[in-house]
Amino acid sequence: MESPDTADESPRRARGRPRGWDDKTAQNTIKSLDRAMQVFEFLSEAQGKALSTIAAEMKQSPATVYRILVTLEGRGLVEFDPVEQVWHIGPQAFVIGARFLRRTSLVDRARPVMRKLMEQTGETANLGVEKEGFVLFLSQVETHATIRAFFPPGTLSPMHASGIGKALLAEMDDARLQRTLEGRVLEAFTDHTITDFAALRDDLAAVRARGFSIDGEEKNLGMRCIAAPVFDVAGEAVAGISVSGPVSRVSAEDTDRLSRFVVAAAEDLSLAIGGKGRATVMR
């Protein structure tokens, strides 16, 4: 005969989530493990620290920190330099991080971020990357409004007349920017398209300074786009996220308000793929 506890177990719970799995109160946390992870995270941000320094800066006893470090060392997560007498992150930390990156899909991670961005702004959210000098749109979450921007996955768009394109161009160093634009004609799609290389460089400098780009009817009349870059673990801009909509809803006056949501979404997606937020990259 089944016990009441056994009878109540659902298939989902039996796979590894006990009753009350979403309860994050103290009774369901392991304090020693939590303290160890605090030391590990601290060391990951401040490598090459002596035991006494780690203990002092974390306001922990040296004995406690030492036990944690030795335990982590046994798993290869940290390592000790006997010459300099300092601790560093170990090779196993990279192995685990690499496993995370292998299971991390940019598109999959972007979907909830884009959905939230669409709900916050009421406009279509887009995700794109640079491919051979063009913006390749990977995903889109459409607004419920009747008039909307439409960039189905697989669409290619010139970078100089795209919000995402300019957000990515602005993060390139001079050499890469030169290679990307070399031999290209800055085609005019509307009267607002930037067709002069010097003017484009000035616009990209402004984009980089403020952290987001604006496509103000540069590709399609009556449509405006606001975009921000997404950074990977190396601090490289690997994608862009944007909102697009008609100028009647995405007006010049709305740019500051909407840009805050876009920049926050780009930050969230950067962190979701194991990357760095813009504030960290710009240091």
Instruction: Give the up-direction half-sphere exposure of residue 237: CA atoms within 13 A in the CB hemisphere.
Output: 30
Q: What are the sequence ranges of the domains in the chain?
A: 17-99, 104-281
Instruction: Give the up-direction half-sphere exposure of residue 85: CA atoms within 13 A in the CB hemisphere.
Output: 4
Same fold, 17-99 and 104-281: no
Residue entry with tokens 């974390």: 58
Per-residue pLDDT of the chain in tens (283 residues, 90 and over written 9): 444 444 444 444 445 555 554 555 566 678 889 999 999 989 887 778 999 999 999 999 999 999 999 999 999 999 999 999 999 988 888 788 767 656 568 888 999 999 999 999 999 999 999 988 899 999 999 988 877 777 778 888 999 999 999 999 999 999 999 888 888 889 999 999 999 999 999 999 999 999 999 999 999 999 999 999 999 988 999 999 999 999 999 998 999 999 999 999 999 999 999 887 766 666 5
Report pTM: 0.67
Render the burial of 108-123: b for 16+ CB within 10 Å, e for the rest.
ebbeebbebbbebbeb
Quick one: fold of 17-99?
Answer: Arc Repressor Mutant, subunit A (1.10.10)
Of 78, 112, 105, 110, give the one whose Cα is nearest residue 93: 78
Second-level CATH architecture of 104-281? 2-Layer Sandwich (3.30)
